[in-house]
Structure 1
Amino acid sequence: MSSSLKSARIPAYADDESDHLALLDFKNRISEDPLQIMNLWNDSAHFCNWFGVTCSPSTKRVMVLNLQAQRLSGSITPSIGNLTYLTGINLKNNSFYDEIPQEVGRLRRLQHLNLSYNSFGGNLPSNLSHCTQLRVLHVVDNKLVGHIPKQFNLLLKLVFLQLARNNLIGSIPAWIGNFSLLYVLSLYRNILKGSIPSELGRLSGLRFFSLAVNNLSGTISPPIYNISSIYHFSVAANLLHGSLPPNVGLTLPNLERFFVDLNSFIGHIPVSLSNVSRLYMLDFGENGLTGTVPQNLESFHDLVHLNFYDNSLGNRKVGDLNFLDFLANCTSLKVLALDFNQFGGVLPNSIANLSSRLRWLGLGGNIIRGGIPNGNDNLVNLTDLELHGNYLSGPLPNALGKLQQLRVLYLNNNKFSGSIPSSLGNLTKLIKLFMDENKFEGSIPLSLGNCQDLLELNLSSNNLNGTIPKQAIGLSSLSIYLVMSHNSLTGTLPFEVGNLKNLWKLDLSENRLSGEIPASLGSCTSLVSLHLEVNSFEGAIPPSLKTLRGLNEIDLSRNNLSGQIPEFFSKFLSLKHLNLSHNDLFGKVPKLSGSTNGFSVDNLIGSGSFGSVYKGVLSSNGAVIAVKVLNLQQRGGSKSFVNECNFLRSLRHRNLLMVITACSSVDHQRNDFKSLVFQFMSNGSLDQWLHPIEDEQHQCKRLSFIQRLNIAMDVAYALQYIHLHFQTPIVHCDLKPSNVLLNEDMVAHVGDYGLAKFVIDASHNPSKNQSMSDFSVALKGSIEYIPPEYGMGGQISILGDIYSYGVLLLEMFTGKRPTDDMFKEGLSIQKFTVMALPYRVMDIVDLSMPFEENEDDDETNNVDIEESAIIEEVDHHFNTRSRVVHCLISVLQIGLLCFATSPHECLPTNDVVNKMRAITDTFPEVRHASPIDENIYLGRVEDSRNW
């Protein structure tokens, strides 16, 4: 009976045994299979019925292997070359690794190969050139390196060639111009260099052309502009330059999407583009374009996205914005970005005639004067209005209250005056309201209490007076910050402040507030920062504040407070800054003190050029400490000790590693012994988190997006203190991730001042305190983090630390060391970042960084394989307005601003801090979706299903 059952199994056919064995070998190479797909590959069914396997009905040979998005991990067996009847392989969206085997070249019938969104490394297999029937090649978003094999010139039947988002090097092969059937050419986000071959101009049927985010240079040759079939043209984020041809709109009549952003194009916007009636995506952002915006924009009936962000458009004169008159015909317009140009004059009344579908209107950072026109009823769907950083003046129109879809309103850094209109209370969907740095006067309207989705409110640096309305101070939705500092507000702090249970920053400093600090403030248990300084508060510090254990900084200075300093402050483990000065308080806050015992290898937690660091315990109270024992045999060791003592004895800042004591004595062998005792940082260094060692704990060392922002802000504050707020300015000289230490709450502390220098010739003139003539520089610090001029005999300066901070920022968010192997042949971490900003920022961010993004949802699972990758790529261009991505762009741009070609161009320390603070203050809830509908473009490429 048993023998009969065995013989009843479905047999393997003799002519397909090689397929059977190849599939079993494929199965054996799978190392992770959480969905248990490979369990279905067993002898209970013929392999033609296995999951993901399709066979020819007549020959029983495997024709298609489709295991898309099955969460599989493993390498690809060379035996795949034995599946010689294969016409299609789809392993997209898995975690396959190692090299693509050369044996794929044996699949002479192969027409479709999709290995996108895996972790394949090594070179593209040159033997793939034998698959001369190949029509579709998708190997997007892997870790491929090397050149595009020259043998690929034989793949003349290719229709889709997508090798985007890899690390391919070399130049773009001119022979791609021989692929006469090519519809899609996508090589974006690689490390390709050189010019764009003019031979590509022979691809007369090309529809989709993307070479963005590479290192391409030179100008674009005229033949490229003559491919009249192109509907998607993107060369963004390269090093291309020159002028765009004036007749581009005539030679590319089918254009729908045109991206040349983030290059070095100069000259004027081609007027001929107005002839392209199908154009709906136009992006010139971050170039050097000058002149005026063409007036004849009325032909863009389908325009959805128009970006002129960060150019030099406009003449700083009246009439610069007259082109807005013609945009009234663009009834589909949803995004209009005109920020950071040279537009002058006033806002024309025609702004009220813009598309009723407009969601995003950016006019910040220009030279616009006058007021906001009345009659903006048409902008009823506007969700983001950015007018900050102009010279706008006069009162705000009550009509602003009609824009009831607004979620973000930036009016800050202007000259607005008059009272804040109560109609703003109608904007019940607001999440961010910035009105700081203006001349608003009068009282804060009670109606702001209607904005019950508000996360951030900044009314600072105005002329506001009167009392703080309980309706505003009691908005429980405020979870990021509430800032009303630098006004003339009077009266008491309302009891309703206790409603701010989720708020992390409250700043009411420099007003005229009086009375006692309400006990209800103790309910704000999420507070990290509390600033009530320079007011007239009186009475005792309320005992209820003992519940605010998460506070990092408290400033109650320059008030009329009295009584004893509460002892509970000593139990605030996160507290790094406490200022109670200029009050009538008495007593003192206990602090750690004591000595160390015992140094062994078991307690060693780090070592450097001038010494080793040990973990210890104070015998007096059991507190854990770190002891840096100087290596006095190392040349410069004693000098390093003296240096650190000189700097640390007076430094007091929440983001500087605090020294508890110093020891200069002899050890048991009567040798000189010098050590410094510091706070113990339980979470080690930033370097250990960014680049974890492969051990049993490495999976836990993943810094989230928010954690990185907070750490970056901590380091910026530390630099601000030593550069500008210490009695004599200090240059750290060795800022790098290993010298940024993290405590139990992941608060960053800058340490290691062994190379630090005083700026001894600093004056009160900010333009003069950036140099230090008395210290000529030998090569100091870690070479990858110091400015090039240090290596050429330049002088130590504060700008050197700013340079180091820029490298630190880029490393923190890309996850790449500045010495990464990929940075060669002229490519640096700076250029790597430049090439990706702004629209490809997600291509370069650290893959280990946890955060949620709505735009990561896969909305194309049911779309044919050939077009899904195209849709994903196209959508990738336009998902840049999410709050997370917008924040990343801003942070990386600040990092790039820290690399100056000359001292007068460098970003001053205060500007670094202010820019970083603006980002961290406004983007802490990065997991929320963008107010912009990022999927509005998806429908425009659905016609590709007919290709």
Structure 2
Amino acid sequence: MLTRLLSLSLFLLLASAATNETDQEALLQIKDLISEDPLGVLSSWNRSLHFCHWHGVRCSRRHQRVAVLDLSALKLEGSVSPHIGNLTFLRAIFLENNSFHGTIPEEISRLLHLRYLLLQDNAFQDLGVTLPNLRGFYGGGNKFSGPFPTLDKNYISGNIPQEFGNLYNLGALYLSENMLEGSIPQSIGKLSNLQGLRIYKCSISGQIPLSIGNMTRLSVLDLGGNMLQGSIPVTLSNISSLEELNLGDNLLSGTIPEQVFGLSSLIILYLHQNHLTGQLPHQVGSLKNIGKFTIAANKLTGEIPKSLGDCVVLELLYMQDNLFEGTIPSSFKQLKGIQDLFMSYNNLSGHIPSFLGELPFIKNLILSHNMFEGEVPTNGVFRNITAFSVVGNVKLCGGIQALELPTCSQEIPENKNKAVLIRRILIPLGIIIPVFLLLACLWAILSRIRGSTKEIPSELSLQIQHLKLSYAELFQATDGFCSTNLIGEGSFSSVYQGNLDSANKIVAIKVLNLQKPGARSSFLAECEALRNLRHRNLVKIITSCSSIDLKGSEFKALVFEYMPNGTLHNWLHPSSSEQQQNGDSLNLVQRLSIAIDVASALDYLQHQCETPIAHCDIKPSNILLDKELCAYIGDFGLATVCSTTTAQSNHLQTCSIGIKGTIGYVAPEYGMGGEATVQGDVYSYGILLLEMFTGKGPTNSMFTVNSSLHNYVQTTLTDQVLQIVDPQIRLQMEDENETKANCKYSVSTLENGLRSLFQVGLLCSAESPKERMDIRDVIVELHAVRGALLRA
């Protein structure tokens, strides 16, 4: 046995020596291709000294392998050896401010642990490598050509450098879902050979540069999901090859230039969720190849141009949440390929055209909340209650029985005697109404006995790919609501993971416990709240089910998209099994991004909805995380639509309800009988923010009657900020300090960033509602903190 142990130890020792030898040889090969070393810094690179002590080399503590290669600003000249790809533990390469030339070796693509690559101010000529895990890339001041490295969905930070304009031969530039800031440089217009530009869902602001019209070979331009302001540049009309244009979800204003609609090559045009005004130009009919067109959530006015019907290959048309008026053009009967037509929340009037029901491929027709009148058609799509919505049009009548609209009355000749008319109307009503009430009661009883499934009327459920699910299907999806599929429990419900065979997808099924007082009102409140809410950081509902279970009892459930990363609470306070399963905890940037996501959703509820909505239960267990750790607010069971109080003493958004929420997160004024307000949600958010960065919940045992999480942070904020931060964040910082790239957070930068975060949390959780921050200001502050940390 001893012999085996000695053999194993010798084997491990030799293996370690072999891998270390690989690193040493790779470094010597790198030295061989450096032709000029005027400062003599590479003289230490010899076999008489362990390579971990060579100038510019930093090794990992555990494995003694090269983790950082830092040769920045040493006046070195030469090329980069392909042997750099043998430094398999390498996490950061700093070669900036030298005279390196030639190509970046393809072998760098083998460095799966590489996170930071700084190459600026050299003479490199080619960058044709794939860097899937890169977090930081700086390459200005070179002469790069060829394809740009794949950088999507990383943590690239800082401004888009002006030097990108020097990459004349660049064919595609994809920087989506990063943490960029600042504006798009005018120099980007020099990329005349660029065919694809995606800077989607970053934090860039400013105006779209006019020079972007010089990129005449572009086929894809995706700038959606940012904070771009100003008008849509007319110069876009120069890009005659453009097929996809996404400017949606920004802050653009002004009118839509009619010249943009001259781009007949466009297949996709997204302009939704901006501040665009004016009329939709009639030139829109020139988009002969357009398949997807979204202008929803703007402030567009006037009538819908008849020429829009000339876009005969349209499949998706979103026009909701605008100020359109007039009737639906008869030319829409030409849209034979339309599948989704959303026109809700406008001022459209007149009769609903029956030809809409004859469109052969239409799946979702949303006409709700307009001023339509008259009879609802019953042909085609109008036969399927799950495929169309006309709610909120109070002058409609007729239609299929499921709409429960009044019967359309026929006009009565004026020359009829009024007394005769009264007798003819009132006498039959005296007989019909009691009979109708009796039949209604019988129908309700029979429906309960049969256990029929009835969908709760919900505009939201009609605006998505709606699934009509029965109790039996939900029972099967959860293996009989088995405890092994239970993923969460709340005050009025249990949440199960389910596998829907019919849709081939995993979902979260929230089953109401109707035996608990308040459960039914919670269910109705959540349905009402989710019916019209649409935001990328609000949980997405799939359908609802109201039925009878196997015991004959009433059954109600909501079905949501499944969030594979569970709740924020489970990440902040994991059980031992969860800690083992997840492994890593949330780092500083991830927590900050989650905080921004939640604040963005609250901003939508408080400032962007027609009437403000108070969620009333903001806490970590109601924050859900998807596979990318994007955050979604869930559980709207306590949500309430608010009204505006215009008293001069304050301008609070209030809603009359009893005390709601969870202990520790509930605003103090609620306990004194105060009305619930959206400022109450800000208080809960403040507590959430303090918890995210201290790791301590408001009901932690360390807090007694005379202390609280708010007071704990406030008393230690000035000079002990690093001591109150979550230990998991500190451990990650210490681990990451092994590389210069992550050591960039100086103590002062880190302290200032955390101090700002805690200050925001304290201001949000102030005792007086009038002293709390507006959630819009919170978002600005958090973006500033994230920008400062990433710039460091």
TM-score (normalizing by structure 1): 0.41
Instruction: Pick 1 or 2: higher relative contact order, CA cutoff 8 A, min separation 6.
Output: 2
TM-score (norm 2): 0.48
Please state which structure has a larger fraction of its residues in helix: 2
